[in-house]
Structure 1
Amino acid sequence: MSAAEKISFDQTGLLRFITAGSVDDGKSTLIGRLLHDSKSIFEDQLTSITNTTRKRGAEGVDLSLLTDGLQAEREQGITIDVAYRYFATLKRKFIIADTPGHEQYTRNMVTGASTANLAIILIDARKGVLTQSRRHAYLASLVGIPHLVVAINKMDLVDYSQAVFDKIRKEFSVFAEKLNLRNIAYIPMSALNGDMVVERGDHLNWYQGSTLMDLLETVSIEDDINREDFRFPVQWVCRPQTKELHDFRGYMGRIESGSVRTGDAVTVLPSGLSSRIKEILVYEGPVDEAFAPQSVTLTIEDHLDISRGDMLVKTGDTPQVTKAFDAMLCWLSEQPLDLNRKYLIKQTTRVVKSVISRIDYRVDVNTMAQETASALKMNDIAYVGLKVQLPLVCDDYAGNRATGCFIIIDESSNNTVAAGMILPAEGSA
């Protein structure tokens, strides 16, 4: 297997997805069904949740207990934190993030969605498209999730009616046209009974599409990473203090997008100095070419002043280098935003001091209406302007998720207080 084939396989062989929706739509039960029917849980886990189900006076197995790990969740019967689960089939590996349904946990939804390839939005077939359904679809579009599955669940409670499914699909499609969503799939299912989750079941013969598991195993995510623009944030400058490697200077980090070959002309930003790639080193040794999301050590032909936080790009393919930009910001902290304070911004491997210079508007995530705001509190999402002390090297988030995102840190507590997505520079396409 060539290096390119290996990286391609590694990337397409792992799918990160989230489940979201209104409270009691069955998110945790769906994940439990996926794990159970794909033979991805251990016998002692099954025994434990079976015993817990019996203690509650219920029959069978409550599969939602596989993900509702927090004691508070089990007592309330809801999910209040992002619960991550890992499993694999013969075709693909998966990382699941089960996100909360309550509005006050919007920040958890954004956190879980930030690295996802796909989002599953569950809709209770009895209730149809609710405010929370629209809210989570909007958040999925906001963070740029490439693939969306609308899982119309609890079809067993509406007699597996095709008319109910078609009505909900039509209503959601009208709403989705307002958002920047693509590759939407609609699947009727019963997570409780297992219909159309892993197995097709016997009650939805009128539906000719894939089961949820078939879709998860086959959805193409090869294009989810920007493979055109080479972006290499320097994480560490390697200078071994040994006699044999006394003159060695390597730049270590992860290729966030694109690819690079030995001999390629590169520019170091923000300084603007140029050189060529001399050597590409991976764990196994030197290679001629490397691809995102590979971690590598690069050496260049010239001795330049390069440090952590700088970025190598291909000469002629230059991202923004700026000290002021606009962004969509999700405020994560219980402490409200203070416009008079300075905060730290961490974007790729660069950390700089910053101020939020203005709030243009806050988004009502239930209606998508734009509201005037002079402050932000926890879970608020807003269009803001930021100024930084030293220039950042960045792309707009829609074009490159890896270099278009950032977090804001409270310098006094070291807590992450916000997450942001950089918007296109004024006047750009």
Structure 2
Amino acid sequence: MVSHTIVLGVGGGIAAYKAASLLRLFTEAGHSVTVVPTEAATRFVGVATWEALSGHSVTNSVFDMVEKVNHVQLGQQADLIVVAPATADLLAKAANGRADDLLTTTLLMARGPVLFSPAMHTEMWRHPATQDNIARLRAHGAHVLDPAVGRLTGKDSGPGRLPEAEDIFAASMALLDGTVAPGIEPGSLDGRQVVITAGGTREPLDPVRFLGNRSSGKQGVALAAAALAAGARVTLIAAHLEVPTPAGAAVVGVETALELREATLAAAADADVVIMAAAVADFRPATSAATKIKKRDDVADPVITLVRNPDILAELGATRATRQAGQLIVGFAAETGDDGGSVLDYARAKLERKGADLLVVNEVGGGKVFGQDSNQVTILARGSTEQAQAAGSKDQVAAAVVALVASRLAAAHG
């Protein structure tokens, strides 16, 4: 692996201690890392710890190493800047170009990619001001991971947890290795209406139980954020999500596949682009009990009969002539290979069968994709043997998909 120069910015949150594990991953991979903590971060993890783990001197003052013009050279010389944890305050400063310490000044001097990994309480993450700041950072070309969902400080639980060090490391390496497609060009979707489905549908068995899947909705939400950053008007058809929806999107909440179909067909009527990223259940129970199904010794175990749900993507492809002229349809396929064919063999057949223009393919199983903060996809185009690759965080993959959509629309309309 090629050795790179990395700046690791550490914000002043309780998750600062987790950045030590990320630092270890960087250094063990052979990279040279300079840690730049905020003043508040040093209240959680001391300077001595960062110096011992990185092998470099550590400061957060622009008045140290003045002879080297440290606040300028750090950003200019870094191949990558990673900020983990990125607190709400730090995101606000970065989004608005504040430069009142060494880290924020370094961010303004960045010549290479910048990756933010937010961590904060759920209410702070979902606040419209924070979401606006994230959208602004993405529009400026920065990469922002969605936080993980789980236990926070104290008894709180929800979205806002710092992703695992391994996930942040994987996203960082994808940026350094250049495996991520070009980012979003602000304004590339100005005036376009984009419909995106996200999350996993839930098919009720009774008032308590349902049939569902492992989709977190992270990829669909990242696509919505990317389309908003490109200037689109976005309608997000949201099934079950484990992450908050982006500020600026018109959100339509659904639960079942039938509800998602109805909402999608209605929203797609005048859309320029429809992106089907939701994990839609292929089957649903033939009947749903009006009361909770009881587990009783004197009654036989229930037998659940399943019926097929409609194929929404295929229906969109078959009826496109009745909607907006030149509409671009993008499907998602979670595939596994077997003795009958590879992942891409099945995906190409699905693309032609469904009538979509693009198909974003990811391999699932063995812990891949579902619920993770990183992704690796192949993008296929109907009627073509060409394929594009995108890897890294789900934000990065979303940026690659949206950039490809924008370029195809631009080419189609001259």
| Same fold flag (TM > 0.5) | no
Greater strand percent: which structure?
1
Answer 1 or 2: which has greater helix percent.
2
The TM-score, its normalising length taken from structure 2, stands at 0.30
